[in-house]
């Protein structure tokens, strides 16, 4: 199974670069995500290195005729407006198995935004598993797994490390790359009240 995806990547000029973690339970973030081709190349790379990854997608994707195929490829449907519950559900999945890899594209879209979604960070913290930084670099046609870290209590410090790692990686459409920073925290009703 590994030979064919590796062959296809090589035919199209892609090089696999690996720094695999020492654990079989982790959240892998994949960036920059600026094109539909990222998913195709990313799946080939995962198959080429023998990773059985799970990924989160909006539930409407799984209501389509391709829904069963997406599930077979490791897809997990979620409702984005139920963020807190999703974190608990994913942490429970990690707790229930010794072999679970959850892949997330933290940009959450292929268009430019001024922040990344931080759900991956919260899931990894709740599950007490590392974050592995996977990348796709169209400039050098490299894709793979890079450094990893265990999320701490300071999200800004962790995002600083993430920014440094991705600083030399370029998406297929560089203008669509999102700013690597967590979304500004919104005050709760009690905090905003006079």
Using an 8 Å Cβ cutoff, are 105 and 30 in contact? Answer: yes
3-state SS string over 131-171?
EEEEEEECCCCEEEEEEEECCCCCHHHHHHHHHHHHCCCCC
The two tokens of residue 39 are 């998913």
Question: Which residue's structure tokens are 């009240």?
Answer: 193
- DSSP H or E stretch at residue 122: helix 119-127
Strand ranges in 11-156 using DSSP code E only, listed in sequence order: 15-17, 25-31, 53-58, 75-78, 100-104, 131-137, 142-149
pTM above 0.75? yes
Predicted local distance difference test score (pLDDT) of residue 193: 40
Q: Which pLDDT score is estimated for 192?
A: 38
Helices then strands, counting H and E runs in the chain, come out as 7, 7
Question: Could you give phi then psi for residue 147, rounded to 5 degrees?
Answer: -70, 160
What whole-number distance in Å separates Cα of residue 47 and Cα of residue 59? 24
Q: Angle at Cα 79 formed by Cα 106 and Cα 143, nearest 5°?
A: 25
pLDDT at 186: 52
Residue linked to tokens 């967590």: 182
Per-residue pLDDT of the chain (194 residues), as tens digits, is 789 999 999 999 999 988 878 889 999 999 998 888 998 898 899 888 888 889 887 788 898 898 999 888 888 887 766 555 888 889 999 999 889 999 988 987 777 888 898 999 999 999 999 999 999 999 999 999 999 999 999 999 999 999 999 999 998 988 888 889 998 765 444 443 43
How big is the CA angle at 142 (ends 99 and 45), to the nearest 5 degrees? 35
């Amino acid at each position: 199974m590994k030979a064919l995806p590796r062959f296809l990547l090589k035919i199209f000029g892609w090089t696999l670069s690996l720094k695999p973690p020492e654990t079989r339970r982790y959240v892998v973030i994949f960036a920059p995500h600026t094109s539909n081709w990222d998913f195709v190349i990313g799946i080939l790379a995962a198959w080429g290195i023998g990773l059985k990854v799970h990924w989160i997608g909006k539930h409407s994707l799984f209501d389509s005729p391709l829904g069963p195929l997406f599930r077979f490829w490791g897809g997990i449907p979620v409702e984005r407006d139920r963020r807190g519950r999703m974190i608990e559900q994913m942490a429970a999945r990690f707790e229930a198995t010794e072999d679970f890899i959850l892949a997330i594209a933290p940009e959450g879209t292929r268009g430019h935004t001024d922040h990344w979604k931080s759900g991956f960070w919260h899931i990894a913290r709740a599950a007490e598993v590392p974050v592995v930084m996977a990348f796709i670099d169209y400039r050098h046609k490299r894709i793979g797994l890079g450094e990893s870290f265990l999320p701490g209590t300071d999200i800004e410090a962790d995002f600083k490390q993430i920014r440094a790692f991705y600083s030399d990686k370029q998406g297929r459409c560089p203008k669509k790359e999102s700013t690597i920073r967590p979304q500004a925290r919104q005050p709760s009703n009690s905090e905003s009240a006079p």
